[in-house]
Amino acid sequence: MQPRLFHLHALSALHCGTGQSAGVVDLPIARARATNLPLVPGSSVRGVCREEVTRTDTKAAVTLFGPERIEGDAQAFAGALAVGDAHLLALPARALAGVVCYVTSPFILKRYAQDRTCAGLQSVAKVPTPGDGVALVPAGSVNRSGNALVLEDLDLSAQENTAVKSWAEAIAATIHPTDTGAQEDFVARFAVLPDDTMGFLAETATEVRARIAIDSGTGTVKKGALWYEENLPAETVLWGIYALTNSMNKDDNRAAKDLARCLPPSGTLLQLGGKAGVGRGLVRFLTQEVAP
């Protein structure tokens, strides 16, 4: 079983919820228990991938994801595809200069580096660690205002760092493999923050929207029909790991390498999570290239 990386690039606000309220937010997004960082459950990614594969190859969908119904032990087998949760890699945060800044932290980058190694990818650079109140940025950052980087209501000291540029270039090349302009823009808006600062922004810089329901008879808001939804903002980047085994379907003996080519092509647009009717959850699904 060879682990491979996948990335999600949100093109619209993304809501993968928990099904229960938290504080003033009626519909919060899913978060990791230990870190409280946002995530997209692997079950959500697996479900939309199954739907996409089924459109073009029903047999491959059954082999990859397992049978939809099991009427007896003879028909039971495990799917060849395992999908992990998608973890936050870069969060767009409002910036005083340059409009938006894509922020991450050493804790996140170290986990990402470990998964890159597991997936057989080359190392990028040593993960940089900013001091308290410091934001590390690449040369040419558009988010600097003098020697400061102002994000939301945080005023940080901006310092240039070559390793930060290396990480920004690696992520940008993955998210925008054929668009050099988009790569340059991402690098110019990238920053590595202290872990505690990133944790604060991951809780407070998400998007919370008020929703209402209209009474069709009166054309006014239904009584009590006001609620608040939390979303990951558009341009959020997440990553996760998936892995394939050889087919366990007795009616389809394809090897893992052949099954990998049945997955949605890298760059496929998928709709993840809830609220599709109001434009939520449109993402680009980017997968690691499979060797011929």
Quote the pLDDT of residue 2.
79
Residue 35 domain flag: no
How many degrees, rounded to 5, is the angle at CA 170 between CA 169 and CA 175?
95
* Mean predicted confidence (pLDDT) in 271-286: 89
Question: Do 96 and 165 share a domain, yes or no?
Answer: yes
Contacts of 68 (CB under 8 A, 6+ apart): 62
Residue 57 domain flag: yes
Question: Do 189 and 268 share a domain, yes or no?
Answer: no
Question: Do 98 and 200 share a domain, yes or no?
Answer: yes
Q: How many domains does the chain have?
A: 2
Question: Do 123 and 193 share a domain, yes or no?
Answer: yes
Residue 270 domain flag: yes
Question: Do 63 and 117 share a domain, yes or no?
Answer: no
Question: Do 109 and 201 share a domain, yes or no?
Answer: yes
Strands 81-83 and 237-244: antiparallel
Question: Do 161 and 251 share a domain, yes or no?
Answer: no
User: Is residue 158 exposed (0-12), middle (13-18) or buried (19+ Cβ within 10 Å)?
Assistant: buried
- Among 153, 186, 205, residue at a domain's last position: 205
Give 111 or 24, the one with higher predicted confidence: 111
- Among 190, 205, 220, residue at a domain's last position: 205
What residue numbers bound the domain in which 153 lies?
92-205
Question: Do 100 and 79 share a domain, yes or no?
Answer: no
Q: Answer yes or no: is pLDDT of 7 > 90.
A: yes
Question: Do 199 and 244 share a domain, yes or no?
Answer: no
Quote the pLDDT of residue 116.
96
Annotate 177-246 with DSSP letters as a single string: TT-HHHHHHHHHTEEE--HHHHHHHHHHSSEEEEEEEE-TTTSSEEEEEEEEEEEBPTT-EEEEEEEE--
User: Is residue 228 exposed (0-12), middle (13-18) or buried (19+ Cβ within 10 Å)?
Assistant: middle
Token pair for residue 230? 């939390």
Token pair for residue 14? 């993304």
Question: Do 197 and 106 share a domain, yes or no?
Answer: yes
Residue 173 domain flag: yes
Residue 102 domain flag: yes
- With contact defined as beta carbons under 8 Å apart, do 113 and 127 qualify? yes
Question: Do 146 and 187 share a domain, yes or no?
Answer: yes
Q: Answer yes or no: is pLDDT of 170 > 70.
A: yes
- With contact defined as beta carbons under 8 Å apart, do 103 and 93 qualify? yes
Residue 175 domain flag: yes
- Among 205, 223, 250, residue at a domain's last position: 205
Q: What is the pTM of this model?
A: 0.92
Find residue 101's DSSP bridge partners. 93
Residue 50 domain flag: yes
Q: Where are the alpha helices (DSSP H) in the chain?
A: 42-56, 58-65, 106-118, 162-175, 180-188, 195-204, 256-260
Question: Do 281 and 178 share a domain, yes or no?
Answer: no
pLDDT in tens, 60-113: 999 999 988 777 666 788 999 999 999 999 999 999 999 999 999 999 999 999
Residue 220 domain flag: no
